[in-house]
Amino acid sequence: MLDEGIDSKARAAAVRWARWRLGPLGFADLITRVDTSVLHYGRLVTRYAVRTGTWAEEAYAGGANTGWRSWTAAPLRLETLDLWSASPEALAEQSSHLTSCDPCQGAGQVTCPICDGSLRADCSGCGGSGQRMSRARKNYRMVNCSDCRGKGTKKCLRCSKGLVVCDPCRGSGTLRRWVQVTTAQRTLVRAWPDPKALSAHPGLLEDSPRALQWQGSQALASMEHPGPLPDTKLGEEAQSAGFPSARASLEPELEPLRGRILSQTLDVFESPSATVCFEFAGRTGFVHLLGRDLKPTQACDTWSFHKRFWALLGMAVAGFFGVPFLGAAFTGRHAFYDEPSQSGLAVLAILGLWPGTWWWTATWLRRRRTGGAKSPARWHDRIGIGLTSVCALVLAGCFLFIRPSVSELTRLTAEGQLREAGLHADLLEARGESSPAYVEARNAFVLARLPGMDNRSAIALIDHYAGSRNGTAPLEAERWKLREAWAHAALTRGEEGPAEAELAALSTDRAPASVMDGLRAKLEDTRIAKGKSALEKGDLAEAIQVLSRIQARTLVSERPEPLITQAYLRQEHACPARDVRCRASALHDAVAIDTGETARTALASFRSAELTRMEQAVTHAGGLGASLRELRSADEDASVLLSVLEGDAEVTAARATLLERKEALLRNRFALNEPVEVAQALLGPSGLELQRSDVFRVVDAPSGTLTYLFVGQGTTRGLYVTTPEHGQKGLSPTALQEAAKRFTGQEFSAKDLVHSGKGVAHVPARLGRHAALLGWHDDTLVEAQIGRVEP
């Protein structure tokens, strides 16, 4: 049955098969051998039926039961029942029997599902809420339901005493049960020896007559038998095709009591077949062909094709991401390489690497054999490696040989192509080029680039190239000129800050002293002019601030010291008459700036006047309060003078005299029944806190007390002592004695601090020449009033 040219037909069919599976070009060269034979095969079509049984039930309505079992007999088990032992109708009649109803347990009644046995069901009119929407006269509001009268429930009308008739048994309590059998017919088609190798035969695995009419094979035998096909009916064709040994795997798996084979049909065929073996990508593979046209079947090994597909896809993806990476690696080194004239050839080489490596990978996979061997190369196998090598060499040459040059920098500068020249100069500078030719070309480029640039940009350009300090003298000289011009422009506008910044930068750049001194002199003269203008306007603080910023006083046209002294003296005259700190500070600063006689004379006159005032405070002949006020004021002024005129012996002695006079006036005096000044002097400047016009709170009161001084007509009249927790905690007698001792110099007698009684009481007492009143609550001391207290 084999044709003479079946070998060549099989190779051609395998090539077509590989083409449709994206196989490699020249697949015919990869074929190692072709195995041809006449294949005997067949199929078994089995038609079978499967029965399933379930219990069916209905309410028993009386009458005779014709079943072979009554409801009192043992139950029938479906698992052991042969469903093919009789017809479904006969099995139903034979298995019919009576049984008790499970839902009602044979009672015939169940609990009502509506009211759950409570005899009250939800009202259908309001849904159980008790209210419904009223639409009377279009007045939409919620009203009580008229059906249930707002209760939400009403009598259940379905049940009787909470019970209803059982639906399954319809109140009889008994069911008739029987076996209900259903039959399903099915068809199973299986082929041997290998279903995948027979997939080219149309209709073979279907219950279709076209399988017998396929021109690619020859039908040897076809036999059909009701029920299982007996071995005695198998012909020689089935025997030779190997049906007996494969029969067990072809027939369906049926349960003994449920399934039955209705009929079986056996078809046997013979057809030419070929197995084409090949080697590809280091693996062996095969494809099985069937029929006179040698159609490919599903029996094939295509793993090498998948391997090739994923390898080429990986190379394509790697190239997709690799091309931008290589391009950025070349052009990203410097702006010089980003120019089209420099990067064009490199980009073409990078783009050529992508298809070159892809082709090279495809060639390597096609030529690879098992065991590490390779198939002979063809002319187009050299395209991939050739393109890859050429592109790699070109790219390497671009990396090595495309670079800036001094000669090109000189030529571009001479031709006026300064942007392109800047790329060369910038990259040469970054590489640390220091040859004399480069220094000359760089300086020429920078000097040619400066015209037309603004001052700041020009300085930034010079700073970029002058950092190497290699032959940068012309550039630094040009930078000095630019900074000097910027500083002069700033001074013309009256801006000191930019000019001072440029002077600092010129100092850092080691500019000549003549340039620095000229700018500094102009800056200081500008400050002199500003200071004079501020003096004329009377803005003394501004004048002092501007004139004090003058650093090089030897370069100015007019010395600033007399002007600053004049400003301080005028500031002293502007101070308030009794603002000692303002006047003393102004005069002291004036003397520190200029040691001339004018400032010294003014300071000496001011100092003498203050010393005279201190002497008058010591000999003040007024009352005690007035004397203490004068002494306190003079002491404050003396403290201010000493803070300004540090170490002044006469002022120190005068202050000591003031303190001695103050101590003499306060000797043997206490804060109560004295002028307020005595209390302020004894308690210190922060010892009293004004609460209202006639009441002071003692800040540094004895521990555990809250103390107030009451004042009238400038004299302390009374003392009030209690606790911070007044009304919650009693006053300690020890704390009260301490307060009395501090403010009056007297103490209460022990009998005054003892009280027996109930309720609130104010007990009079004596404290020397002061009358007192002690407040008690039961036997707890609450407060004490000494002198005239008006709480």
| 493-520 confidence digits (pLDDT tens) | 888 899 999 999 999 988 999 889 999 9
pLDDT (mean) for 296-304: 91
**Looking up tokens 């004379």, which residue turns up?**
601
Alpha carbons 588 and 483: distance in angstroms, whole number: 40
**Looking up tokens 């050529």, which residue turns up?**
352
In the structure, what pLDDT confidence band is assigned to residue 154 with cuts at 50, 70 and 90?
confident
Alpha carbons 248 and 427: distance in angstroms, whole number: 84
Alpha carbons 731 and 775: distance in angstroms, whole number: 10
β 770-777/760-767 pair status:
antiparallel
Q: How many CB atoms within 10 Å of residue 205?
A: 15
Q: Is the pLDDT of residue 379 over 90?
A: no
pLDDT (mean) for 420-447: 91
pLDDT at 4: 75
In the structure, what pLDDT confidence band is assigned to residue 791 with cuts at 50, 70 and 90?
low
Cβ-contact 668, 682 below 8 angstroms: no
- Nearest CA-CA partner of 712 in 746, 676, 743: 676
Coil vs helix vs strand at 757: coil
pLDDT at 435: 92
* Residue partners of 172: CB distance under 8 A and separation at least 6: 59, 60, 61, 62, 101, 108
- Verify cis geometry, omega within 30 degrees of 0, for the bond prior to 193: yes
pLDDT at 706: 92
> CB pairs under 8 A, 24+ apart, for 404-413?
404/336, 404/428, 406/433, 406/435, 406/437, 406/438, 406/441, 409/438, 409/441, 409/442, 409/445, 410/437, 410/441, 410/444, 413/441, 413/444, 413/445, 413/448
Cβ-contact 578, 633 below 8 angstroms: no
* Residue partners of 103: CB distance under 8 A and separation at least 6: 110, 166, 167, 168, 169
Cβ-contact 7, 249 below 8 angstroms: no
**Looking up tokens 């495309």, which residue turns up?**
402
Q: How many CB atoms within 10 Å of residue 45?
A: 20
Distances from the Cα of 66 to the Cα of 174, 175, 179, 182, angstroms: 16, 14, 14, 22
> CB pairs under 8 A, 24+ apart, for 140-149?
147/123, 148/123
Alpha carbons 302 and 27: distance in angstroms, whole number: 13
Alpha carbons 365 and 384: distance in angstroms, whole number: 12
pLDDT at 72: 42
46-55, 238-247, 413-422, 592-601: range with lowest mean pLDDT: 592-601
Q: H/E element holding 11? A: helix 6-20
Alpha carbons 613 and 650: distance in angstroms, whole number: 13
Cβ-contact 308, 326 below 8 angstroms: no
Alpha carbons 465 and 432: distance in angstroms, whole number: 11
Q: Which residues share a beta bridge with 38?
A: 272
280-294, 356-370, 420-434: range with lowest mean pLDDT: 356-370
- Nearest CA-CA partner of 212 in 224, 199, 197, 201: 201
DSSP 8-state class, residue 752 = G
Cβ-contact 168, 57 below 8 angstroms: yes
pLDDT at 69: 46
Distances from the Cα of 472 to the Cα of 182, 430, 444, 477, 614, angstroms: 108, 15, 11, 9, 71
Alpha carbons 724 and 430: distance in angstroms, whole number: 80
**Looking up tokens 């219990």, which residue turns up?**
55
Cβ-contact 375, 340 below 8 angstroms: no
Q: Is the pLDDT of residue 297 over 70?
A: yes
- Nearest CA-CA partner of 95 in 168, 167, 218, 177: 177
pLDDT at 375: 74
Cβ-contact 222, 267 below 8 angstroms: yes
β 31-59/120-122 pair status:
unpaired
DSSP 8-state class, residue 651 = H
End-to-end CA distance of the chain: 139
DSSP 8-state class, residue 78 = G
pLDDT (mean) for 701-726: 91
Q: Where are the domains of the chain?
A: 6-31+274-302, 44-57+186-272, 63-178, 305-370+378-403, 672-787
**Looking up tokens 């599902």, which residue turns up?**
113
The phi and psi torsions of 236 (rounded to 5 degrees) equal -65, -35
Distances from the Cα of 402 to the Cα of 96, 157, 204, 424, 598, angstroms: 103, 105, 70, 11, 79
Which pTM does this prediction carry?
Answer: 0.52
- Nearest CA-CA partner of 1 in 271, 290, 288, 216: 271
The phi and psi torsions of 46 (rounded to 5 degrees) equal -115, 125
Tell me which of 370 and 427 has the higher pLDDT. Answer: 427
**Looking up tokens 């072979």, which residue turns up?**
68
Q: Which residues share a beta bridge with 154?
A: 121
Average per-residue pLDDT for the chain: 88
Kindly state the tokens that stand for 13: 């069919």
44-58, 103-117, 121-135, 717-731: range with lowest mean pLDDT: 121-135
* Residue partners of 101: CB distance under 8 A and separation at least 6: 108, 166, 168, 169, 172, 173, 174, 175
Question: Which one-letter amino acid corresponds to residue 424?
Answer: H
Q: Is the pLDDT of residue 185 over 50?
A: yes
pLDDT in tens, 83-132: 998 999 999 888 888 888 988 888 888 888 888 888 888 887 787 777 77
The proportion of the chain whose per-residue pLDDT surpasses 70, expressed as a percent, equals 97
Kindly state the tokens that stand for 578: 């009794």
pLDDT at 149: 78
pLDDT at 71: 42
Cβ-contact 428, 413 below 8 angstroms: no
Alpha carbons 576 and 200: distance in angstroms, whole number: 121
Cβ-contact 681, 666 below 8 angstroms: yes
Question: Which one-letter amino acid corresponds to residue 155?
Answer: K
* HSE-CB for 502 with a 13 A CA cutoff: 28
* Residue partners of 732: CB distance under 8 A and separation at least 6: 704, 705, 723, 781
pLDDT at 66: 45
Q: What angle do CA 577, 637, 641 make, to 5 degrees?
A: 100
pLDDT in tens, 263-294: 999 999 999 999 999 988 888 899 999 999 99
pLDDT (mean) for 233-262: 91
The length of the chain, given as a count of residues: 791
B/e letters for 474-488, b = 16+ CB within 10 Å, e = fewer, are bbeebbbebbbebbe
pLDDT at 400: 92
Q: What is the dihedral of CA 515, 517, 522, 524, to 10 degrees?
A: 150
